A and B are shown apart, each in its own frame.
Chain A
Amino acid sequence: MTDLLTPVLSANWADERAWKITNYERTGGYQGLRKALGRTPADVMGTVKDAGLRGRGGAGFPTGMKWSFVPQDNPNPKYLVVNADESEPGTCKDMPLMMASPHTLVEGVIIASYAIGCEAAFIYVRGEVVHVVRRLQQAVREAYSAGYIGKNVLGSGYSLDVVVHAGAGAYICGEETALLDSLEGRRGQPRLRPPFPAVAGLYACPTVVNNVESIASVPSIIANGAEWFASMGTEKSKGMTLYSLSGHVQRPGQFEAPLGITLRQLIELSGGVREGHELKFWTPGGSSTPILTAEHLDIPLDYEGAAAAGTMLGTKALQVFDETTSVVRTTLRWVEFYKHESCGKCTPCREGSWWLVQLLQRFEAGTAVEGDIEKMLDLCDNIGGKSFCALADGAVACVTSAVKHFRSEFEAGYTTPAWELFPYERSALFAAPKGAHA
């Protein structure tokens, strides 16, 4: 039985200047790379497959299998693109990882590139986090100087270039095909699939797009072996992962644990729900994953456990809201987010989010009318599953799950503003100064 918390990716975050290459090397950094270069790419890929690593960006697709889709007989160059566009509301694991230990990611990038046979890799990081960008830029420069990147990596004959690329503000670029369009200098709108990126991705060449945490997990898998990784977690959800606890808890923060920990355990570790309050609802993996309530505190937070509860593990972004919080207000804010971030390409997302916001505003203002709940749910049905990509599904999921668990709060919106039922100041960590609105 493994320990409740198993820091691997985060193990060195408290180290003095952990982001420097020498400090990373001192704690075993780049040993995974040396080991990988001594083996065949297929062998490296096999280890990642055997480890059972699944994508940490939300979808949970097996990483090694994704790599194996790259046709090695394709004459075009192959590319690795790291999705560091972390933007899903609630999600805050990749940024601390890249800020504290960018070399964990860089080492993973080199090993993954070696495994799939690519000679150019890109780290697409959202632009709104300049210090993370700085640390990545420096880490890549250090890795070039140390001979880990560039021509003839560590004398292996393998060559690789890595570019750190800053985005410019668009949630949709976390969708892998939109990210590729963005990386090609276009509007970040999702592409038709097929062809899938593994066959025709960046510049229409075979491309693997992986989340930061997925790639950062690779060095430890190579260094310690597939069995070691698989010894953590549950049957189909293997390994350790970063859980991000935020909201109305005593101490929010990052917890690296084997897949399958429960929210009850995590809240206990954090010291409980906010003093004097109790849990009302929470998201398992960001705002796109249907919300859950106190009755779900003990579901195992792995891919299967979340699915069994009618939601998704997503990015393991656990946003906790206590009983002071208006579900209507929170849902509206999420849907406003989706409206703001809808790329505009397809009708249901573009127009549906526009409409949903206006409906939800009426619920918040207490001016909704009888039948608006049914109308809103029917609208959600007309949007969900019809859109070009999954963005609109996320927008719909937070609405339908909120109505499912808290219908009476929406019914109250026929008569009473949400701010009267749930004075907003009570949810905040501080009082509004005189003259400021809550």
Chain B
Amino acid sequence: MSGSNESVRADASASHGGVRGHEFQSWFPESGSVDMADTSTNITEETIAEMRQLAERYPQARSALLPMLHLVQSVDGRVSPAGIQACAEVLGITAAQVSGVATFYTMYKRRPGGKHHVGVCTTALCAVMGGDILMDVVEQKLGIGEGETTPDGLFSLERVECNAACDFAPVMMVNWEFMDNMTPESANRLIEDLAAGRVVHSTRGAELVGWKETERVLAGFPDGRADEGPAAGHASLLGLDIAADRGWSAPPARAVQASETTQEEAQ
């Protein structure tokens, strides 16, 4: 067991170590549960009916819990105590079990998210390519830190982990839509446009409508926007373009197929 003098030393080293925003956190005064102090809710009978509808999509109802919690966020803008209770009642499990699930996954928020939920990827590759700078830019632009929501309720900010778009690094996400190849300039413009209510499109996706609307899609209620945006971004098509330029392709199927057919006929 380490002595207390060592802990003091560690504190000191932690305080001047690390990059701003990456200080080592060790005191967790509010963990363990959603915000029980805020009991407000917009959940209605209709929401409950939709929860039941989700439960029916699966061989076992509990499988619908993740979608149901997305639905709660689409209605309440966070995982509300009422939402936890509703999930527990619909599924016949305890509120503690729902809470255990709601607090496990990072997409579930304990405090009201903004109309637009902004994420900046700062996992290794994006961070190195400029994600750390972007995070700083966005924090300054919005005047809030990670995990916070602007007082006007327009934006919330999150440091996201790798979002599977590394060939478009550095990457931001708005309402879980891709914003590829971001720069400080494009990040500032993005926020200004959204704040001004101008129409903004994901670089590889739909128009940025709102985080709650996204949560409803994730719950399993499509919004009819699947046909917006391109099939693929430029980086996704790079190899395909090069192959086309150079006349490369997979081997022709027919020749191989023919020999297979012959074999079959021979048998």
Contacts and interface: CB of A to CB of B under 8 A. Distances in A.
Asked if A and B form a direct contact in the complex, defined as CB atoms under 8 angstroms apart, the reply is: yes
A5 B251 CA distance: 10
B233 interface: yes
B172 to A, nearest CB: 12
Contacts of B59: 77, 120, 203
Contacts of B20: 437
B162 A18 contact: no
A184 B63 contact: yes
A89 B218 contact: no
A95 B14 CA distance: 37
23 contacts: A2-B251, A7-B248, A17-B227, A87-B161, A94-B164, A127-B107, A129-B176, A130-B214, A167-B66, A247-B129, A253-B167, A254-B167, A254-B240, A255-B238, A256-B243, A257-B239, A337-B124, A358-B10, A361-B17, A361-B22, A364-B19, A429-B130, A433-B137
A19 B60 contact: no
Contacts of B242: 5, 255, 269
Given A92-B166, A228-B253, A361-B18, A165 B236 contact: no
A101 B62 CA distance: 30
Contacts of A438: 132-133
For the complex of A and B, list the 9 residue pairs with the smallest distance between their C-beta atoms, beginning with the closest: A253-B238, A365-B17, A185-B65, A131-B205, A168-B105, A255-B239, A3-B248, A224-B253, A169-B106
Interface string B206-247: 100000001001111011011111011111111111110011
B177 interface: yes
Given A90-B125, A247-B129, A435-B140, A134 B223 contact: yes
A240 interface: yes
Q: Range of interface residues on chain A?
A: 35 or more
Q: Range of interface residues on chain B?
A: 35 or more
B176 A127 contact: yes
Contacts of A340: 161
Contact of B166 (A99, A183, A246): A246
Contact of A225 (B176, B220, B256): B256
Given A134-B206, A165-B66, A185-B63, A232 B251 contact: yes
B130 A232 contact: no
B256 A228 contact: yes
Interface in B79-112: 91, 100-101, 104-108
